Copies of this chain bind each other. A is one copy, B any other.
Amino acid sequence: MSIESLLNESMNSWMLGGGKEADIVLSSRVRLARNLEGIPFPNRASDEDLAVVAKEIAGSMEDLKKATQHEYIFADMEELSPLDRYVLVEKHIISPQHVQEVQHRALLAAEDASVSIMINEEDHLRIQCMTAGLELGEALDLANRVDDSLEAKHSFGFNEQMGYLTACPTNLGTGLRASVMLHLPVLVLTRQINRVIGAATQIGLAVRGFYGEGTEAVGNVFQISNQLTLGYTENEIIDNLNSVVRQIVEQERKARRLLLAESKDTLSDRIWRSFGILRYARSITGQEALTMLSEVRLGIDMGIVTDVPENIFNELLVTTRPNFLQKLAMNRGLHSEHRDQLRAKIIRKRLREVDKYV
């Protein structure tokens, strides 16, 4: 079991689809921020401190295996090529921040990427658990098992009044960030999305693009997460996010029903044209691919495109990202032009496989 398998696999477990509200909710994620007691936070820690943290956590693989029934892979960020690091970011296994400094930074991940622990990111530990569909409870449960397993051997910085101590005060308390990836093409199409985002923001949630803070909502995929970690229990945070997400899911579904009733023909034409372009294009940018894949996925969810597996969207969302393509090209330097061609080729090949049904 090496990091290569994690890098080369086109689908992580949570991309295989399934889970609740899977027609709209792609995945759920729970992240816990933890720090080892008595060692400065990474931004103030010495090289020795960081090395101690990495070594301590690396030693927990067996415990984690028992607690979660997963095999674990340890990777020293410094030993990975820059390309491999970016592939991990694209696959949401690590954060973009985790590749900015690499010395003494590490990753401990389950073989199916359902659990990934970033070591020495902003905090000593960022425990991240992903599931397909709207399954925040399940993700929290998994994260708690990881957390408990680690806490059984290590002391985490904790204060009776504040809860878990974290490098940034916004994570104080539970250290919990829960987030959900939503595919909202019809709320975007009917221009209701800004109202939805506005409402979510007002009640203390953050709405971001596919790659978190500062990224655009390419492919009509939005990430919604809690902002506050202090003053609420973990279950309150999860329940609150869950209930807002269910409302948004209902709004997207309602918009889809209306659209289907009012403009099925136009919609169907638009979706099939996107399918046709994806099926035959010889060059396609990442942005365009995501836009069209989003339409095709909508077509699948609305019964317009049949016999095409819906997780082809999740899969191609990852396999058509720049760094994954670069990796596929065996690290040969790819110009953006060739990357667009390779992307088109991968999509074409994949859609050709399912084309016999459509």
Spell out A's residues near B (CB within 8 Å): 265-266, 268-269, 272-273, 275-283, 337, 341, 344
Contact of A344 among B269, B277, B281, B344 (CB under 8 A): B269
Contact of A280 among B265, B273, B283, B341 (CB under 8 A): B273
Note all chain B residues with C-beta closer than 8 A to A279. Answer: 276, 279-280
Q: Shortest distance in angstroms between A357's beta carbon and chain B's nearest beta carbon?
A: 13
Known: A269-B344, A273-B276, A276-B280; 4 extra A-B contacts, CB below 8 A, are A269-B281, A273-B280, A275-B276, A277-B277
Contact of A283 among B265, B275, B337 (CB under 8 A): B265
Note all chain B residues with C-beta closer than 8 A to A272. Answer: 280-282
Give Cα A278–Cα B282 distance, bound, in whole angstroms.
16
Contact of A265 among B266, B268, B277, B341 (CB under 8 A): B341
- What are the 5 closest A-B residue pairs judged by CB atoms, nearest first? A276-B276, A276-B280, A269-B282, A272-B280, A269-B283
Give Cα A277–Cα B269 distance, bound, in whole angstroms.
9
Q: Shortest distance in angstroms between A268's beta carbon and chain B's nearest beta carbon?
A: 5
Give Cα A233–Cα B181 distance, bound, in whole angstroms.
77
A276 touches B265 (CB 8 A): no
Note all chain B residues with C-beta closer than 8 A to A341. Answer: 265
B281 touches A276 (CB 8 A): yes
Name, among A280, A281, A337, the residue most crowded by chain B CB atoms within 10 Å (CB to CB). A280
Give Cα A276–Cα B279 distance, bound, in whole angstroms.
7
Give Cα A275–Cα B344 distance, bound, in whole angstroms.
15
Give Cα A283–Cα B272 distance, bound, in whole angstroms.
10
Give Cα A344–Cα B273 distance, bound, in whole angstroms.
11
